[in-house]
Every structure is written in C-alpha cells, then in structure tokens.
Amino acid sequence: MDNLNRVFGNLSPLFGLFSLIPCMMSFANEPIGDPPAPAEPPEPPAPAEPPVTPAVPEPSSFTWKDKVGVDLANSPTLQKFEDTPEGLQEAVKSHLNLEKLLGHEKVPLPKDENDAEGIARFNKALGVPETAEGYNLIDPTLPEEMKGLTFDKTAFANIVHKYNLTPKQAEGVWKEYTDLSGGIYQKHVADFQTKLAASVNALKGEWGDAYESNVAISDMVVNKFSDDKEMNDFVTASLTKSPMGLKFLAKIGAQFAENKVGEFKYTKYSMTPEEAGNEVSKIKGDVNHAYNSEKATTAEHEAAIDFVNRLTAISMGKKL
C-alpha cells in the first residue's frame, strides 16, 4: 500500500492538472472578452381584439302621416309612400313631378258626358272654338282636273266641332280628307281614261275610216234633241264618253240620214272613200240639191257645202 502511495502519490498533481483540461477546453471555445449578455425573453403576443358588433341605429320616431289626417293618410295615393323621412321625400318628389306635368293651370275633367259645363270648360282650355266658324279652314289645293269641284268646309267644320276637335286637329283632318279625296278622284279619272282609250281604239278598228264621221253624226243627234245646254252636257257625258253610247247615237243618226231628215240628209253612216266620191258627184249633178239650188235657204246651202267638203276629204282618204 505504501508502495502504491509512493508510486501514485507522486502522480496526484498530474491528476489535478488533467481535471482542469475540460474546463480549459470549454473556455477555449468562448470568445475572449466579457461574456455576452443573456438574451431577453420574447414579448408575449398581444391579446386578440374582441369582434366589433355594428351599432344598430335606434328606430326613428319621425312620422308624418299622423299629421295629415286619417283620411289622407289612408288614401290610396299616400299608401304608396312609407311613414318615414324617405317616404315623405318620395311623396314630395312625386307631387313636384306632377306639377311639372300638369303645368300651372289646372282644369278638372268633366264628370261625365252629361256635364255640359265641365265639357265646355275643358274644351276651352284645349282651344276648341265655341262655334264651327272658329276653325277658319283654308281652301284645299286641288289638281287641275278637279278645279270645278268644291268641298263643303261649313259642313266639315260642323262635324269636327260636334266631336270637339281642336283647331290643329281639325286642320290636320281637313288636309288629310281633301288630299285623300283628290288622290281617289285622280286615280278614278286615270283608270277611266285608260279604259276609254282601249275602247276607242277597239271602236276605231271596227269602224275604220268612218270613225270620225260616225262621231260627228253622234254629236248631231245630241245637239238636235237636247232641250238646253244642261241636257246636252248630261247626254254628252253619259253617252259620247262610252263606245257603246257612241254606237247607239251613230245608229240613230244613220237612220235619220238614210231617210234624209233635216240636216241628217247631209251625213252618211260608215262611208268609204269610194262611196264619198260617188256621193259628191251625185250632189253636184243634182240641180235641185241645196248645194246648187238658189231656192235653198242660207243655212241649208251652208250645210250642203260643209257636207260636200267632208265627203271630198273622205274620198281623198283623209280622216276627219
């Protein structure tokens, strides 16, 4: 034991030195100088804010319908608007818009068709004249072929006044009416002339060179048997404007010509150039004919001369 102490006893300082080595090694890893300050602990997180609940406005105590009376408040018109400031604003806006629409002067509507006073007041506000004469309708502009026709402005004015038309409305209807009537008349005339031209062309094809003389003898029938100008115009308009009427008149004239009645003896129905030449020779050779006789009256002599001249023209192929 003593031997061990002698052996190891001398080593005890070494053991002490070795015990310091770990400490020296740990210090060797630290920076030289003052030791670092200890780290500050992290700040604790801020507490979460509680959710914000929106403030609910307290119900408004503003009302306005209770201030206009029960009857008005319950009327269908005010029932359209709420009893709130916004509802009052909408009601005022609606009234202002109505004021702009109606204008400053307000005219109540008539109660019914029997409210004569209300109707008169309403018509006056619209500008309807009190009498039909107040319309002052202008004369229409008519096409040339309608110059002899007239429109009854007085009757028209009475009609539109009966239905309470304003002057502007009456003027518009009057113009539309006269323009429409003029257009219808012009179309009727154009259609009639087209059909007449077609019929006349067909009649010319049927009568040939005798067409003009047959028309002349038709006119002679009308002139001979018409009592006055009014009858003459009526027969002329009714018969001579129609091919069938011309045929009818020409046949009557031919019968008188064949029987040599009055001035018809100087006419001939459907005469050819050869027949006309022969008739001229016959007349000139007849001393008792009015063309040659000194006993013939002036009218008979002039009619005979005119007849011979027409026959001569036909014999030469001319169309009268």
pTM higher than 0.85 for the full model? no
* pLDDT confidence of residue 57: 56
* pLDDT confidence of residue 235: 83
* pLDDT confidence of residue 257: 63
* pLDDT confidence of residue 263: 53
Q: Write the Ramachandran bin of 246: left for phi over 0, alpha for psi from -120 to 50, otherwise beta.
A: alpha
* pLDDT confidence of residue 281: 92
Q: What is the mean pLDDT of each run of 10 residues along the chain (320 residues)?
A: 46 44 45 58 70 63 85 87 90 84 70 83 84 83 72 88 88 88 83 84 82 79 83 82 81 67 52 82 88 84 85 75
* pLDDT confidence of residue 58: 59
Give Rg (Cα) of the chain. Answer: 63
* pLDDT confidence of residue 293: 87
Under 8 Å between Cβ of 271 and 213: yes
Separation of alpha carbons 8 and 1, rounded Å: 10
* pLDDT confidence of residue 185: 82
* pLDDT confidence of residue 318: 64
